[in-house]
Amino acid sequence: MLPAAGEPAAGDSWGLLACLCTVLWHLPAVPALNRTGDPGPGPSIQKTYDLTRYLEHQLRSLAGTYLNYLGPPFNEPDFNPPRLGAETLPRATVNLDVWRSLNDKLRLTQNYEAYSHLLCYLRGLNRQAATAELRRSLAHFCTSLQGLLGSIAGVMAALGYPLPQPLPGTEPTWAPGPAHSDFLQKMDDFWLLKELQTWLWRSAKDFNRLKKKMQPPAAAVTLPLEAHGF
Amino acid sequence: MTSVLLPLCERNPEPMALFSVSQTAFLLAFLSLRTYQSEGLSEPLPWAPESLKVSVNTTCQCLHLQWTVHNLAHHQEFRMVFQIEISRIKTSNVIWVENYTTTVKWNQVLHWSWESKLPLECAKHFIRMRSAVDAAKTPGPRVWSSWSSWEEADVQNSLGQDPLFIFPKDKLVEEGSNVTICYVSKSHQNNISCYLEGVRMQGEQLDPNVSVFNLNHVAFIRETGTNIYCKPGQGDGIKGTVLFVSKVLQEPKDFSCETQDFMTLNCTWDPGSDTGLLKQLSQSYTLFESFSGKKTLCKPKSWCLWQVAPESQDMYNFTLTAENYLRKRSVHLLFNLTHRVHPMAPFNILFKNVSATSATMTWKVHSIGKYYTLLCQVELYGEGKVTQHNVSVKVDGAHLFSGLEPDTEYLAQVRCANGDYFWKWSEWTHQNFTTAEAAPSEAPDVWRNVKTVQGRCVVTLFWKPLSKPQAHGKILFYNIVIEYLDRTSVSEVLSIPAPASGTELPLNQCSSQIRITASNSVGTSPASVLVVSREPGNEEVEEERVKGTEDGFPLSWNPQPRHVTGYLVEWCEQPRDPPCDLQWKNLGPNVTSTVVSSDAFRPGVRYNFRIYGISTERVPYLLARKTGYSQELAPSDNPQVVMTNLTSHSFTLSWKNYSTESQTSFIQGYHVYLKSKAGRCHSGSEKAVLSDDVVCCKYKIDNPEQKTFVVENLQPESFYEFLVTPYTSVGEGPHDAFAKVTTPDEYSPTLIRILLPTVFCILLIMITCYLKSQWMKEKCYPDIPDPYKSSVLSLIKSKENPHLTIMNIKDCVPDSIEVLNKQEGTRKSLTETESTKPTYLYLLPTEKRYSSPGPCICFENFTYNQAASDSASCGHVPVPPKAPPSQLGLLTSPENLLKALEKNYMNSLGEIPAGETSLNYVSQLASPMSGDMSNLPTNPPEPALCSEYKMQMAIPLGLASPPSSGSSSLSSITLLDEGEHYH
């Protein structure tokens, strides 16, 4: 807040000078003018939100290519198989009340953990891709996703939340068992891309909510519970 | 090279039964068996298969059988046949019977496998077998043991709890195979639909829970396999499998090995299509050399390096094997290493001793051993030619190129091969070099143009640049030596720097010899000699026409009786331009015809050719002149025609400025077209129909130099249109822009000849009359004096008696006459007027006479009524019956009248306008003798004149009875008549 300067007496130049000095003395304390201070998590939340939207757009193209690579029925628009063999994938869909009740720390932690897992799976997908062009697209997307992960970590650090530590032995691996058929593997790939898409939608909502929360007054955010098809 | 096909089953041969057979043991066993058969046939065979066990391998869809044969004696061996029956679903449904023959020995476990086309999970299988001693060498029927009991192979029980299964799981087959797919449903649903790549398949029901789909000749679709999936009618469950269809592994093509340095062998081949899949790596290649027994795995798909053994191994026998999960293919190659030498490209090419015509090339080669000789091929490109030489090289190569052209760039290249056993040439190594310059070999081709400027010969020399083979280097300058033939002048030497192609030289004397040479950095060319003569030669040679063709202008001339050293044809390539671009062509002495061709020749341009003979003294003289067109074009323009001498029956057309020389073709004449409304053509013309169906008369002029034409036999006052167009062998000029003319009237010239002088005369008369108008007036119609202008009025005013101003004539008895004469138009000064005034006064009657009512000195003259009223100068104007009201109003009142009179009087005292004075003071009775008022005092009227006036007045007196106006009018007429009579 600007300090109120006293009314200078007419002709009293010493009083005016003292008033000016007082103003200058308190100037660094004015928040609006203090550009060297920490801007807070607002800009990084905005950047993270923008990144999720960009990744969402990028994934739309990548998923189309990859599902064509898998062949029908995975590239059919109305293909919606049961989520059988993808239990290890972090699930993006959540009950609306549960989602609303999440605090910022938990919300960010879930995002961070989900993308850590998804990134790992995606790298496995990249390793087995047969065509060089597909490998290039997947590697590019992995790099972008790594950036999103770093961005979320930045937001958490700005808000003072610790990064979740992976429990030993629970790191996700891309090693399908011998009983895992190739068809089920393709199904897992399909679900990986689908969950990734849903997570990006959810993250956009999460960061939008967070962004508004940091900029009062907060606006209401609704999250559709139904995951959209590709 | 040969190839061997090794199927998978041979690649991994399953050891079914492997025994060493002893001839002795076999004979013993056979004998004992025969003995047993002869003793009792009803007994079962003692060596029946026992302990039959069936196991299932779902990966390869194989049934694996193992059994033993009991009762075999120790060390006994038999050749036995085992008949195996396989049933599907039920024992009675036998699908496979096979006799398996093998040698059996004591205590041996026998094995046999069978691969099922149908996935084993799709149906139960039953297996049984029996045995017999292989008695192929002995006649008679084979004696079989009894069948073993049916063994069941059922995998369905171990499938699990899923409601739906699809088999086989993720099978790998080759393209073109036949594959059987089945699903097993445990939920007893009948409406299960199955799809191959999204397309529904039609299968056959094997049993209520199992359906089978046969896929024939499956094709490769993608690396990730062909998706086959089934889904039940209800629920969202989906089950699928991936069928990996691999491309068929092809045999490596063009397998070849060679060495460049005897250190490594480079083997290459064409691998064909890649058989890699998501489930199967691409095919691998292995290189095996049988003599050394070494083997190497080739990581690249199409080449492999093999290290040559340090010890001397000449022969190599390679086997290249391509292998994938399904198939293996091999090719062989046997060769001698020295026959497969592909040397590296030569290097370090140098040129030594490069002269104008020769150069030595040296190069180095990579050694392939001291016992080998390399054969090198040297090629030389230059001047559009290629020469090739072969050189044997041990260490360094060298070759001398000779017969080269001076100052020419050449490309030399060399490649080598093994000279002892040719296999392949190395790559080319090439290098450029340029030979040295030499003196020009040919004299420049020179021609001249001689003209006389102010009595002095000026010769313009032209020369063509030497061609590259003639110049032998870069021409630096041209030397010109002028030698005057009469030896009176000193020779002149000039040097013109290149690349000039001509120069202009004023000569001291015309008769001279000019020598021109070209020089480069090495030397000078032979001289080209021209002799300039004062005699112009045979300039009056008649010009002939020549017809150009596509190939050029064929020119020919008569052979000359005198000896000539050659002929020369000269022409201008740009004849329309001032520079002319002089061209010439030298011809031999025996040539009398040539064809001049040039890309610069254009259609419609006239080219002039001059053919010279060159005498032995090098003096050229004109032989012939030719002119022609490479292609004649129809004239594009018509002459500018001037029409003259237009009469009613003819006119003359003229186009003198039209040049026949500068047209697009030879002008043969002209056509004059005349269009008229009459449409009749007179003699000398013919009817012609123009392109726009207009009929007109056409006059033909055959002489191209006749450039005037008189069109005759025309109708007067008629409209004509005419056009003059040249005609050539290729057509006429354009038929546009007809000029228009209308012939004049036939009589109008005559009329003009009469009318013009008449008008002139009239005009002359009129001008004369105008100039002499005063004289004419006086002669023809002199002014009538106006009594109101007389001096009497002043007297009236002086008496101040307005009632006495006018007196009727009937009341008057004239007693005296005062005649006033004043020359009209002369202006008198005030002093003169004043000097004359007393004269008037003295001439007036006395006051007494004036006041008396009886005698009257005032009289009216109605001749000037109108004039008096207009000028308002007369005080007493009798009002005529038809006078305008305004005039009545103005003059009837006594005051107005008085004022008018006063004014008049005052005017008479001052400067008097000429018009007024003429009206007022020139009396009708004025004597012709008194033309000037100034004469009045000196020439008073004679009494005789007075008497005549009286006589004039006598007539109104006789007519006193009519009213004043009428009598006045009548009297005035009478007076006028009298006046005329007077004259």
Reduced 3-state DSSP string for B289-356: ECCCCEEEEECCCCEEEEECCCCCCCEEEEEEEEECCCEEEEEEEEEEHHHCECCCCCEEEEEECCCC
Touching check for B959 and chain A: CB below 8 Å?
no
Distance from C-alpha of B58 to C-alpha of B117, rounded to nearest angstrom: 12
**Sign of the dihedral defined by the CA atoms of residues A148, A154, A159, A162, in that order:** positive
Name every chain B residue with its beta carbon within 8 A of the beta carbon of A131.
223
Q: What residues in B contact A190, CB-CB < 8 Å?
A: none
Is there a contact between B169 and A81 if contact means CB atoms under 8 Å apart?
Answer: no
Q: How many CA atoms lie within 13 A of B315 on its CB side?
A: 5
B 156-175 residues inside an 8 A Cβ radius of A: 169-170
Chain A residues close to B277, C-beta within 8 Å: 130
Q: Which residues of B touch A187 (CB under 8 A)?
A: 240
Cβ-defined contact of A186 to B227 (cutoff 8 Å): yes
Give yes or no for a contact between B284 and B324, defined as CB atoms under 8 angstroms apart.
Answer: yes
Chain A residues closer than 8 Å to B169 by CB: 181
Q: Out of B237, B241, B244, whose CB is closest to A82?
A: B237
pLDDT at B355: 92
Chain A residue numbers with beta carbons less than 8 Å from the beta carbon of B226 are: 71
Contact A183 B224 (CB under 8 A): no
Rounded CA gap, B624 and B635, in Å?
27
Report CB contact under 8 Å: A70, B197: no
Q: What CA–CA distance (Å, rounded) separates B692 from B946?
A: 95
Q: In a 3-state reduction of DSSP, which class is residue B372?
A: coil
Asked if residue B24 lies in contact with residue B123, where contact means CB atoms within 8 angstroms, the answer is no
The alpha-helical segments, DSSP class H, found in B302-456 are: none
Mutation target among A66, A70, A182, A188 for the B interface, most CBs of B within 10 A: A182
Q: Which residues contact A68 (CB under 8 A, 6 or more apart)?
A: A75
Pairing mode of beta strands B172-174, B239-246: parallel
Contacting residues for B726 by C-beta, under 8 A, at least 6 apart: B635, B638, B639, B658, B660, B663, B667, B668, B669, B670, B671, B704, B732, B733
At residue B804, the pLDDT reads: 52
Instruction: Give me the phi and psi of B109, to 5 degrees please.
Output: -95, 125
Chain A residue numbers touching B236 (CB-CB < 8 A): 80-82
CB-based contact B46:B78 (threshold 8 Å): no
Return d(Cα B749, Cα B716) in angstroms, integer: 12
Tokens representing B981? 């009579």
Q: Would you call A181 and B195 a contact, using CB atoms and an 8 Å cutoff? A: no
Rounded to 10 degrees, what is the CA torsion of B263, B267, B268, B273? -140
pLDDT at A76 over 50: yes
CA distance A133 to chain B (A): 14
From chain A, the residues in CB contact with B237 under 8 A are 82
Across the interface, of B224, B241, B244, the residue whose CB is closest to A69 is B224
H-helix segments, chain A: 13-26, 42-70, 96-101, 104-128, 132-159, 182-214
ipTM: 0.72
What is the C-alpha separation between A211 and A198, in angstroms, rounded? 20
- Predicted local distance difference test score (pLDDT) of residue B370: 67
Strand order in the sheet with B512-519: B492-497, B477-484, B512-519, B528-532
Q: Number of residue pairs across A and B with CB atoms under 8 Å?
A: 57
Could you give phi then psi for residue B703, rounded to 5 degrees?
Answer: -95, 115
Using CA coordinates, name the residue in chain B closest to A128: B278
Sheet holding B164-167, edge to edge: B164-167, B179-185, B210-215, B204-207
Q: Quick one: closest CA in A to B277, which residue?
A: A130
Q: Which residue numbers in chain B have pLDDT < 70?
A: 1-46, 136-140, 188-190, 236, 370, 534-539, 577, 579, 787-983
Q: Are B290 and B334 in contact (CB under 8 A)?
A: no
- B143 CA: distance to closest CA in chain A (Å): 47
**Residue B549 DSSP one-character state:** B
CA B857/CA B864 separation, integer angstroms: 18
Does the beta-carbon distance from B198 to A76 stay under 8 Å?
Answer: yes
Residues of A with CB under 8 A from a CB of B: 69-74, 76, 80-82, 128, 130-131, 181-183, 186-187
CB B699 within 8 A of CB B641: no
**Is the Cβ pair B241, A74 closer than 8 Å?**
no
DSSP classification of residue B414 = E
Nearest-Cα residue of chain A relative to residue B240: A183
B226 touches chain A (CB under 8 A): yes
For residues A76 and B227, give the distance between their C-alpha atoms in angstroms, rounded to a whole number: 13
Let me know: does B434 contact B409? Beta carbons within 8 Å: yes
Please give the structure tokens belonging to residue B281.
């790596």
Please judge whether A71 and B225 are an interchain contact, meaning their C-beta atoms are less than 8 angstroms apart.
yes
Over residues A209-224, the pLDDT tens digits come to 888 887 755 444 444 4
**DSSP H or E run through B483:** strand B477-484
Query: Hey, which bits of chain A come out as E strands?
Result: none
Interface test with B, best of A67, A183, A189 (most B CBs within 10 A): A183
Q: Which residues of A touch B222 (CB under 8 A)?
A: 69, 71
- Distance from the A58 Cα atom to the nearest Cα atom in chain B, whole angstroms: 23
- Select the residue of A71, A73, A187 nearest B224 (Cβ to Cβ): A71
Whether residue B280 lies within 8 A of chain A, CB to CB, comes out as no
Q: Which of A70, A81, A181 sits opposite B241 (nearest CB)?
A: A181
Largest CA distance in chain A: 96
Q: What is the 3 state secondary structure string of B24-48?
A: HHHHHHHHHHHHHHHHCCCCCCCCC
Percent of chain B as helix, strand, coil, to the nearest 5? 20, 35, 45
Q: Tell me which residue of B918, B906, B896 sits closest to B827, measured CA to CA.
A: B918
Interface contact B119, partner A, CB < 8 A: no
Give the per-residue pLDDT at A20.
Answer: 56
Distance CA B609, CA B624 (A): 8
- Convert the pLDDT of each residue in A197-210 to its tens digit: 999 999 998 888 88
B195 part of contact set with chain A, CB < 8 Å: yes
Do B65 and B53 contact (CB within 8 A), yes or no?
A: yes
3-state secondary structure of A142: helix
Give the integer Cα–Cα distance in Å for B232 and B223: 28
Would you call A72 and B197 a contact, using CB atoms and an 8 Å cutoff? yes
pLDDT of amino acid B956: 40
Angstrom distances, CA of residue B162 to CA of A184, B123, B239, B444, B905: 14, 17, 10, 105, 160
Per the DSSP assignment, residues forming a β-bridge with B626 are: B544, B609
Please report residues of A whose CB lies closer than 8 A to that of B170: 181-183
How far does A193 lie from chain B, in Å, by closest CA?
A: 17
What amino acid occupies position B868? A
Q: Which of B408, B430, B395, B396 is nearest to B359 (CA)?
A: B408
Return the amino acid letter for A106.
Answer: L
Query: What is the 3-class SS of B154-175, one letter each residue?
Result: CCHHHCCCCCEEEECCCCEEEC
The identity of residue A39, as a single letter, is: P
d(Cα B236, Cα A179) in Å, to the nearest integer?
22
Write out the E strands in B162-263: 164-167, 172-174, 179-185, 193-196, 199-200, 204-207, 210-215, 226-231, 239-246, 253-259
Task: Decide: B423 and B417 in contact? Cβ < 8 Å.
Answer: yes
Residues of B in contact with A73 (CB under 8 A): 195, 198, 227, 229, 238
Query: Rounded to an integer, what distance in angstroms lies between the CA atom of residue B686 and that of residue B692?
Result: 17
What b/e sequence results for B688-724 when a residue is b if at least 16 CB atoms lie within 10 Å of its CB, and e otherwise? beeeeeeebbbbebeebeebebebeebeeeeebbbbb
| Residue B237 forms contact with A (CB below 8 Å) | yes
Across the interface, of B170, B198, B236, the residue whose CB is closest to A182 is B170
Out of A128, A131, A183, the one facing B227 most closely (by C-beta) is A183
CA B789, CA B794: separation in Å to the nearest integer?
Answer: 10
Q: Name chain A contacts of B244, Cβ cutoff 8 Å.
A: 182
| Contact of B283 with B247, CB cutoff 8 Å | no
Pairing of strands B456-464, B502-506: antiparallel
Separation between Cα atoms, residue B635 and residue B646, nearest integer Å = 28
Provide the H-helix boundaries in B823-913.
830-843, 847-851, 865-871, 885-891, 894-909
Q: How far is B165 from chain A (nearest CA, A)?
A: 12
Interface check for B96 against chain A (CB to CB < 8 A): the answer is no
Q: Residues of A with CB below 8 A from B279's CB?
A: 182
Beta strands B606-615 and B564-574 are antiparallel
The interface residues of chain B toward chain A in range 259-278, judged by CB-CB distance below 8 A, are: 276-278
User: Chain A residues with CB inside 8 Å of B239's CB?
Assistant: 183
Q: Among B169, B221, B224, whose Cβ lies nearest the Cβ of A130?
A: B224
Residue A41, both tokens: 């998590």
